[in-house]
Structure 1
Amino acid sequence: MNDNRLGTAVSPYLRLHADNPVDWREWGPDAFAEARERDVPVLVSIGYATCHWCHVMARESFADPGIAELLRRDFVAVKVDREERPDVDASTMAAAAAFTEQLGWPLTAFMTPDAHVFFAGTYFPPTPVGQHPSFRQVLGAVLDAWRDRRTEVNATASALSGAIRQGAVDSTTVGLHGADGAEPDLPSIATIHDVVGALEPGEDLEYGGFGGAPKFPSAPLLEFLADAGADGVPAGTALCERSLRVIAASELTDPDGGVFRYATRRDWSVPHYERMLYDNAGLLAIAPQPQARGIADFLRDTLRRPDGAFVAAQDSESTIDGRRVEGEWYRRPRPERALLDPPPLDDQVLTGWNGLAVRGLAIAGARHGDAEMIALARAAADAVIDAHLRDGHVVVRSSTPRGSSSAPPTIEDSGLFAEGLVELALVTGELRYATTARSLVDDALSGPLTVDPVLASAGTATGEQPQTALRSGTVALASAALVIGTLTGDPAYRSAAVTLVADRARSGVDRPLGHADALGLALALQRPSREVVVVATDPTAMQTVAIGARHPGTVVLTVTPAQASAWAAAGFTLLESRDRLDPAAYVCHDHVCALPARSADDLTRQLASA
């Protein structure tokens, strides 16, 4: 019997399991109601479409009719795509940390019918390996505990859920006037600068990067180092540039320009071959020109859909000579690859991840004078606005050619997409991106996002957790709010940004890997505001000078005279009366501007003294 429920799922990861003999359900109240009715535990298996070890466990265990029958009889089995449901993944991961330090995917958790985790792990092999039990042994031990030691199971579940509630990020409304009470403190600039010094001993002086194996590109950490360097800490610049050079020259970067998720060895060799949109988009914002161009080529040639949006990832596995093998396609010479079927794509379009790509392409395109990167950013933004937004609000987190997911949008979606639109507006001068970003920020600050009903009932919704590879949606929202406040002159946006980022920045002093992006924004929030507005029909020369002067606390906007008028009419008061001279560049501090510079040389001199 096969009563698997995943055949109509939108998620590509769930659909990969639609042919399993396991009677999978999607996450939702119905699955847990069935578990209560039958008085059985819930197996929650979390992964994503390009996850190699998820594929391995599927072939070894979930395709096994004997295991499928055991699951059907004694469990309710639930499949979750962590890309589609980051809220479920974050909550489950928080509980799983009590059982293993080696967190990752596949994430295998066992829950009570009220959705409280009582045991968890990651990949379990089909037969015991050393001290690691087989998946069948794990199922047997879980059942024994459920049947014979229920009091112990419930006590564990209760303790873990209580710890999650205590550590959950507060999701109450921030609002445009900040949280109630005084504005929270940020770590001082000197304290943040000292973090760079604390990171220096962790640099691998032989092979570059940080730490040992496995080795990750960690784009948020590298961007913080670049921000610190621009803020006057030369060691930050040096650390970032050295890491970027070794990444570009290593096996972690494919000849087509795309960057793999991590290297399994300390010398950046033997990549884990999956390629994620978020890693590549994050590196774009800081990469030097040749590296950025290669990443943009990969996004354009591999992850881009015909409508301009970007899909989530490319798999590590491909089918060669009738067998599914990891990495073999990537190891072949490029002419030989063309004769083989490439690794499949995770074809989800995720609002937040596309926002990250828009941001990276806009920043890199402006920095390197690359018009195609900006065109790619514009096309992706337009595609997501058309398909995932309604009236300036995110209504869809994830979609595929099969439709839109019912998973609720998260702060990752509103924050990352708003920040991407802000950067695109600053570079292109197109007002519609700025007004849409302002609407997203206002919407996100007006009230808490929807909480999944199962997590809400269980009390285990965690809010957004610390990020190591992906820029935080909370930090991105704060960044977008800060820029919107700078352009409109409304200080309430800055106050909201401080409230959003303060706790994360303070945590980042001791744990910079998980909160590096918050540290970078904390620098910007404490520097005197400097606005550089380039108004020109042909802004190229002055725009290049202005963008070269970007550092924490500086906002650079390029518009034509007609665009300046439209921005001013839409409430962006920094642009008032900026349409009278062409060309002109204005260097301002808190909207108080020096006399306009009329040439690139004049602007260079003003910026040097400002």
Structure 2
Amino acid sequence: MAERLRNQASAYLRQHADNPVDWWPFGDAAFAEARRRNVPVFISVGYAACHWCHVMAHESFEDAATAQYLNENFVSVKVDREERPDVDAVYMAATQALTGQGGWPMSVFTLPDGRTFYAGTYFPPRQLQGMPSFRQVLEAVSSAWRDRPEEVETSAAQIAAHLASAQAGNRTLVGTLGLATGGAGPLSGEVLEAAVEAVAEQEDPRFGGLGGAPKFPPSPLLRFLLVYGAAGRPASGTAAAVAGRTLETMARSGLYDQLEGGFARYTVDRAWAVPHFEKMLYDNAQLLRLYAHWSRSAPTGDQRRLALQVSADTAAWLARRLLVDGGGFASSLDADTLVDGKRREGATYVWTSEELRTVLAGAGADADAVLSLLDLETGRMEDGGSTLHFGRSLEPAEEQLWQRSRPALLAVRDRRPQPDRDDKVVAGWNGLAVAGLADAALALADAGDPDGKAAGLLDLARRAAGYLLRVHYRDGVLVRVSHAGTASGIEGQLEDYAGAAEGLFALFAATGEEQWYRAAEELVLAAEQRFIADGVLQDSAVRTDQLAAAQGSISAADPMDGPAPSGTALFAGVLVTYAAYSGSSRHRALAEALLAHVQLVAARAPRAGGWAMSVLAQALDGPRELAVTGSDPVLMGRLLRAGRAAGGPAVVVASGPGGETAVPLLRNRPAPDGGALAYLCRGMVCSRPVADPQELAAQFRGTGP
């Protein structure tokens, strides 16, 4: 029945191609069919790695009777939230307005014009603990559509008005851009100190991280804490300490794959022991970069080694599990594994103590000693298996014992059934992966790179960047997704343009190869043109009629972070970076205008403003610009290492021979023949150039000339 889904880029849509439900992809044709038949539209939103999406699919969408009722009374639309974040955002807002909560699978009922009149999330096949069955919901919605059309219209109008009001709120937060960009007022860092204090109050004193269960890695916020922690400002010590405790706790927990690397999306418990097992590119791209940054600033040698190990292993996991032909990275690995024809959540990853003993003894390891490292009880799941969860720091000898034991356990686990992969490539997330790989390569190289991994990570970053520009970017437009080397579907969102630019700037900083700078510059300028209309920043350059109707024809970019940074925050960040490289006061002013909302949200909702707060902290520091020019690669390398170590994660770095260059920061920065010089600047105004790494470090500390 669902032939329309068979050749879609989204694995989630393809998973439903054999359902008896007559699915349509989201688009004008589906809503036109609903108008022709005079039936409501049922929109089911999920994603390929979602456990409960699979559950509802098996219980309801694979059921012939349920499918028949849907086909007779609705036009059914299947949406991958990762492919269509614009659709997901609008209908998630409607669902939360109606129910007070949200999640996936999301079940939304709309008029043929796209306006919501009823919504929920997962519905079971039978009535359960006061929750209606899915069939009961369908029958009630169908009855209301048929017998009470005035009530349906009233509900749709009220929900659209509510969403319009929320969009007006976003417009107020972000403000009006364009000619007003110079009038946002001077940036102030006082609110950042209040944000750090608010975060410290939310820290879990027993298990680390923020709040209780479920626990998500607060990646955008951790970026802020690391940037602010290196800034030498009030509360910098608190910020660095909270970030360090959170990063160390996650690295020793069941959230992190202790055998292969890579992080699950979240844990269902407060102790970080039992994950929801899907692994997302956007989480891991951010986290491998965060651990690379922490490896420079962590206070102890053991923590710095742990940070480098986690960063390197997470990068290796990306290459092993998510790399697709051509160099891009796939979106995710599923939470479930198909075992004997049944989907089981986390089946690939969990162990019984008997299984662990058998493998370890067979490998000649001291099984009792290895098992004593693990907290299998806290990591125990309902089926009796356990995650590999330490829940504490390891002593150096314990760490060595675990590293010796990993290969044997991983070899056995690799022979188990493995979770499915969603092969679609998302532009913005790949940009974050490029940035993470580039910064991880630098961190390894600066630490001596004893295993020779840095060059391989830089090559992965180059290949992913090349894939984005070759496959996703055409005729000045960045396409959001590709599959099997072909881009398709909607234009990229603001987060895609800005995320890709973030990665390209990071790759230029790591390599000095100007092609990446030029591509990043082109994306920044394109985003400025495509996502600002009449002074209003938008998340989408093109909006469908249905989504416009659903939110009362008012839209604006949402500046608040989710698990990944918002498009607004990412765009502000690349604008600050671009202004530092180019000297463009106009783009600096635009960035400052986009950061004005931080004053309102930082202390009240710091977890939703982390990336923008990190950009504000960077901007308040200048940002500091490091230009290294010359023809001696060894001395240039030493100066760059010293600058990265002293400058923290927010320093903007450029290197090259000087002379003719596409990068204004490098122009008119001469170096002696056969030598090299480092210029530390703010706003293109530089301190005396130096050729000694120690003198450069002193300039960063404010103690040098």
Same fold (TM over 0.5): yes
Quote the RMSD (CA, aligned, Å).
2.2
**Alpha-carbon shift at residue 44 of structure 1 (Å):** 0.4
Q: Distance in 2 between matches of 1:126 and 1:261?
A: 27
Output aligned runs, 1:483-502, within 5 Å. Answer: 483-502=577-596
Judge conservation of contact 2:187–2:592 (CA < 8 Å) in 1: no
- Say whether residues 1:599 and 2:692 are aligned partners: yes
Other-structure match for 1:28: 27
Other-structure match for 1:584: 677
Q: Distance in 2 between matches of 1:339 and 1:137?
A: 43
C-alpha spacing 1:187/1:496, structure 2 compared with 1 (3 Å): closer
Aligned with 1:321 (options 327, 340, 365): 340
Stretch moving more, 331-340 or 72-81: 331-340
- Say whether residues 1:474 and 2:558 are aligned partners: no
- Say whether residues 1:436 and 2:519 are aligned partners: yes
Aligned with 1:522 (options 616, 619, 643): 616
Q: Gapped runs of 5+ residues in structure 1?
A: none
Judge conservation of contact 2:278–2:335 (CA < 8 Å) in 1: yes
C-alpha spacing 1:174/1:309, structure 2 compared with 1 (3 Å): farther
Matched position secondary structure for 2:164: helix
Q: Distance in 1 between matches of 2:156 and 2:560?
A: 23
Judge conservation of contact 2:471–2:485 (CA < 8 Å) in 1: no
Aligned with 1:257 (options 261, 269, 289): 261
Other-structure match for 1:379: 463
Other-structure match for 2:474: 390
Other-structure match for 1:143: 142
Other-structure match for 1:511: 605
Other-structure match for 2:214: 214
Q: Distance in 1 between matches of 2:699 and 2:607?
A: 36
Counterpart residue identity of residue 194, structure 1? A
C-alpha spacing 1:571/1:32, structure 2 compared with 1 (3 Å): same
Misfit runs of 4+, over 6 Å = 171-175
**Alpha-carbon shift at residue 395 of structure 1 (Å):** 3.1
- Say whether residues 1:541 and 2:638 are aligned partners: yes
Q: Distance in 1 between matches of 2:626 and 2:2?
A: 61
- Say whether residues 1:278 and 2:282 are aligned partners: yes
Q: Distance in 2 between matches of 1:149 and 1:105?
A: 29
Other-structure match for 1:38: 37
Stretch moving more, 574-583 or 494-503: 574-583
Q: Distance in 2 between matches of 1:504 and 1:39?
A: 46
Counterpart residue identity of residue 419, structure 1? E
**Alpha-carbon shift at residue 179 of structure 1 (Å):** 4.1
Q: Distance in 2 between matches of 1:126 and 1:450?
A: 37
Other-structure match for 1:408: 491
**Alpha-carbon shift at residue 162 of structure 1 (Å):** 1.6
**Alpha-carbon shift at residue 466 of structure 1 (Å):** 2.4
Stretch moving more, 209-218 or 449-458: 449-458
State the Cα deviation string for residues 467-502 of structure 1 (Å, max 9, x = none): 221022221122111111111111111011122232
C-alpha spacing 1:158/1:101, structure 2 compared with 1 (3 Å): same
Q: Gapped runs of 5+ residues in structure 2?
A: 292-306, 352-408, 446-453, 532-540
Output aligned runs, 1:305-316, within 5 Å. Answer: 305-316=324-335
Q: Distance in 2 between matches of 1:479 and 1:323?
A: 45
Counterpart residue identity of residue 432, structure 2? L
State the Cα deviation string for residues 157-187 of structure 1 (Å, max 9, x = none): 1111122223224499999x94436432476
Judge conservation of contact 1:597–1:606 (CA < 8 Å) in 2: no
Judge conservation of contact 1:358–1:420 (CA < 8 Å) in 2: yes
Counterpart residue identity of residue 576, structure 1? N
C-alpha spacing 1:311/1:337, structure 2 compared with 1 (3 Å): same
Q: Distance in 1 between matches of 2:272 and 2:262?
A: 15
**Alpha-carbon shift at residue 396 of structure 1 (Å):** 1.6
Other-structure match for 1:344: 420
Judge conservation of contact 1:352–1:415 (CA < 8 Å) in 2: yes
**Alpha-carbon shift at residue 82 of structure 1 (Å):** 0.6
Stretch moving more, 478-487 or 78-87: 478-487
Q: Distance in 1 between matches of 2:349 and 2:504?
A: 33
Matched position secondary structure for 1:519: helix
Judge conservation of contact 2:559–2:567 (CA < 8 Å) in 1: no
Other-structure match for 1:236: 239
Other-structure match for 2:15: 16
Q: Distance in 2 between matches of 1:179 and 1:167?
A: 25
State the Cα deviation string for residues 399-423 of structure 1 (Å, max 9, x = none): 1117422222110110100111111
Judge conservation of contact 1:164–1:462 (CA < 8 Å) in 2: no
**Alpha-carbon shift at residue 579 of structure 1 (Å):** 4.9
Stretch moving more, 80-89 or 503-512: 503-512
- Say whether residues 1:452 and 2:544 are aligned partners: yes
Give the TM-score, by structure 1 length.
0.94
- Say whether residues 1:79 and 2:78 are aligned partners: yes
Judge conservation of contact 1:87–1:464 (CA < 8 Å) in 2: no
Q: Distance in 2 between matches of 1:450 and 1:580?
A: 51
Counterpart residue identity of residue 544, structure 1? R
Matched position secondary structure for 1:406: strand
Matched position secondary structure for 2:117: strand
Counterpart residue identity of residue 450, structure 1? V
Other-structure match for 2:129: 130
Q: Distance in 2 between matches of 1:407 and 1:238?
A: 42
**Alpha-carbon shift at residue 378 of structure 1 (Å):** 1.5
**Alpha-carbon shift at residue 589 of structure 1 (Å):** 2.6
**Alpha-carbon shift at residue 45 of structure 1 (Å):** 0.4
Judge conservation of contact 1:21–1:65 (CA < 8 Å) in 2: yes
State the Cα deviation string for residues 32-84 of structure 1 (Å, max 9, x = none): 11212222111000011111111110000000111111111111100001111
Counterpart residue identity of residue 165, structure 1? A
Matched position secondary structure for 1:565: coil
Judge conservation of contact 2:2–2:16 (CA < 8 Å) in 1: no
**Alpha-carbon shift at residue 465 of structure 1 (Å):** 5.7
Give the TM-score, by structure 2 length.
0.82
State the percentage of identical aligned residues.
38
Judge conservation of contact 2:182–2:589 (CA < 8 Å) in 1: no
Counterpart residue identity of residue 578, structure 1? P
Judge conservation of contact 1:550–1:556 (CA < 8 Å) in 2: no
Aligned residues: 602
Q: Distance in 1 between matches of 2:214 and 2:432?
A: 24
Counterpart residue identity of residue 395, structure 1? L
Other-structure match for 1:58: 57
Q: Distance in 2 between matches of 1:334 and 1:417?
A: 33
Q: Distance in 1 between matches of 2:580 and 2:672?
A: 21
Counterpart residue identity of residue 491, structure 1? S
Q: Distance in 2 between matches of 1:151 and 1:59?
A: 35
